Amino acid sequence: MENSMLNRMKVLSATLALTLISQTSFASSTVSTTSEIALEQVAQEKGMEISLETKSRDTGWMDFTADMLMTLRNEQGQESVREVKMKSLEVETDGDKSLTVFNQPRDVKGTAFLSYSHSVGADDQWLFLPALKRVKRISSRNKSGPFMGSEFSFEDLSSFEIEKYTYQYLGDELVDGMDSFKVAQFPTDENSGYTKRIVWVDKQEYRIIKVEFYDRKKSLLKTLSYNDFKLYLDKYWRANTSNMVNHQSGKSTELKWNNYEFKTGLNDADFSRNSLKRVR
């Protein structure tokens, strides 16, 4: 009788102990999960704040024109150089408009690309091919394709718009001697060719100095580096050189910019679809 009572007391004691351990473990797990959610929310908010400040510091330029040398390099280092004229128009209530015209060499002369970036929804993009004498619309599903054989995709040529991404602050890093924020940007467009971009922004001027692009398999695809910055109108920084390296193909595309002119009086008429056929 005493042994039976003793056994029942041991079982009851063990059950109470297990219940207490389970409750403690659950409480600890709940606190840990809540803490992780709070930290993630803070990282998202800080990533958004950094991106908003980056965008804010590059507004008000109205329009600009510039000349650009595009150098394509294959895996063996062989080069192909193209001369390009670029125009861009700032749109206050939407994404920017841009017109890219190829002047040299002869096989691409007269080719023109028109882009209407949008803060919400798919961008509108058209390519004029002089050999075919027609304007080709770029489908939103094809925007991950290469632009004129370069390592830039059609998607890369859109203006940066806050609404196109969600954000996460990843920490601070030194890049080329500059103390920088490191922010992950996740595209909201299901047709994007990327699962994420990792962007480095220098803390002093909020200039984007490096971007890593991750493909749909979440593998590192390309890295874009910005160098040799110059200040225009005492406010707007532009990189005179940018280089896109494709880590999977070994190819790269370098852009060298010069002859920037801001507030030249461009308007919507300069970026109409009809303007594609009028370029010289």
Q: How far is Cα 139 from Cα 272, in angstroms, rounded to an integer?
A: 18
Tell me what pLDDT residue 21 has: 47
Tell me what pLDDT residue 30 has: 62
Q: How far is Cα 136 from Cα 114, in angstroms, rounded to an integer?
A: 10
User: Per-residue pLDDT tens for 181-230?
Assistant: 999 999 999 999 999 999 999 999 999 999 999 999 999 999 999 999 99
Tell me what pLDDT residue 280 has: 55
Which among 134, 149, 87, 141 is positioned nearest to 114, based on CA atoms?
Answer: 87
- Residues lower than pLDDT 70 in the chain: 1-32, 279-280
Pair 95, 117: CB distance under 8 Å = yes
Tell me what pLDDT residue 13 has: 53
What percent of the chain clears pLDDT 70, i.e. is strictly above it?
88
Tell me what pLDDT residue 20 has: 47
Segments in the chain forming alpha helices (H):
2-56, 273-278
User: Per-residue pLDDT tens for 17-39?
Assistant: 445 445 555 555 565 688 888 88
For residue 105, cis peptide bond before it (omega within 30 degrees of 0): yes
Q: How far is Cα 43 from Cα 36, in angstroms, rounded to an integer?
A: 11
pTM of the model: 0.85
Residues composing the chain: 280
